A and B are shown apart, each in its own frame.
Chain A
């Protein structure tokens, strides 16, 4: 999204938060699966990064669900997304593939929250959820996604 289009309604905001939840669930499921397939003893750094990423996504999902509850909208059950991820999942054959996938996860999430924050800031709509709390939560998550990008990049660089 290169041009800011304001969020115009509770309904649209709820839909965008649902998309955020699904993105987090995709990360949670994919990073969790990669972590399960990574040998802790052979690659402790990678295993820790993936476990942390999965746990952080679960935390972000819960934060988004709390906002969604104020908009009287339903969440998307994690088990449902986990099943979809499993159905389409193809195991990455090497560490670079796993790290690259994780980098895409973090960068996509960062871009999503950055665009969403901009679209909310550009909106004059009065939402059912408190605007200050909404923006504070999203900015905090965005910050953590930026840190996630840094963590993956550092690990990638250390392997060059």
Chain B
């Protein structure tokens, strides 16, 4: 997943939580980058037709932006589930964030063949807990 995909995913999740446009400050916080960096990337994504940005109102993904964001979120879910179910990594959230930038979607698709993911993915993702809402995390990572 590249930087663009990571931004789209963050904006999508921020919009879900805000139930409306996402503030650039919230997006920057979620990605742990400076507001200036977030603004620069948001400008690029707007130029590519992936979002609309209105000053003082926030950022709104276009249909194309939503589609790409959902793909990115699905890849992230695969990585998290793989870390939980196969490698039994306790700190899977931190590791998933470091890996999402270096795991391509074709690789994620192959990892997907050995994990147990619900058909409604990524709609079941819980943004607040930063993990699929259908996973019993405690049971999974302490099962061994």
Which A residues fall within an 8 A CB radius of B?
1-3, 5, 7-8, 12, 15-16, 18-19, 22-23, 26, 30, 76, 80-81, 84-85, 87-88, 104-105, 107-108, 111-112, 115-116, 119
> Does B17 touch A at the CB level, under 8 Å?
no
Chain B interfacial residues counted at CB < 8 A: 22
> Min CB distance, A135 to chain B, in Å?
16
Task: Name 29 A/B residue pairs within 8 A (Cβ), A-sorted.
Answer: A1-B101, A1-B104, A3-B2, A12-B98, A12-B99, A15-B87, A15-B99, A19-B82, A19-B99, A19-B103, A22-B86, A22-B114, A23-B110, A23-B111, A26-B113, A26-B114, A81-B86, A88-B113, A88-B116, A104-B106, A104-B109, A105-B110, A107-B106, A108-B110, A111-B104, A111-B107, A112-B107, A115-B104, A119-B102
Cα A80 to Cα B106 in complex, Å, equals 22
Cα A12 to Cα B86 in complex, Å, equals 16
From B114, which residue of chain A is reached at the shortest CB distance?
A84
> Min CB distance, A63 to chain B, in Å?
18
> Min CB distance, A139 to chain B, in Å?
18
> Min CB distance, B77 to chain A, in Å?
16
> Does B95 touch A at the CB level, under 8 Å?
yes
Q: Which chain A residues lie closer than 8 Å to B120 at the CB level?
A: none
> Does B1 touch A at the CB level, under 8 Å?
yes
> Min CB distance, A7 to chain B, in Å?
7
> Min CB distance, B16 to chain A, in Å?
25
From A1, which residue of chain B is reached at the shortest CB distance?
B104
Cα A46 to Cα B109 in complex, Å, equals 24
> Does B3 touch A at the CB level, under 8 Å?
yes
A88 touching B114, Cβ below 8 Å: yes
Contact of A19 among B3, B101, B107, B109 (CB under 8 A): B107
A85 touching B111, Cβ below 8 Å: no
Cα A1 to Cα B102 in complex, Å, equals 6
A22 touching B95, Cβ below 8 Å: no
Q: Which chain A residues lie closer than 8 Å to B115 at the CB level?
A: 84
Interface centre among B86, B98, B113 (most CB of A within 10 A): B113
Q: Which chain A residues lie closer than 8 Å to B82 at the CB level?
A: 19, 22
From B5, which residue of chain A is reached at the shortest CB distance?
A2
> Min CB distance, A100 to chain B, in Å?
13
B106 touching A85, Cβ below 8 Å: no
Task: Add 7 more A-B contacts to A3-B2, A104-B109 (CB < 8 A).
Answer: A7-B102, A15-B99, A16-B102, A23-B107, A26-B113, A105-B110, A111-B106
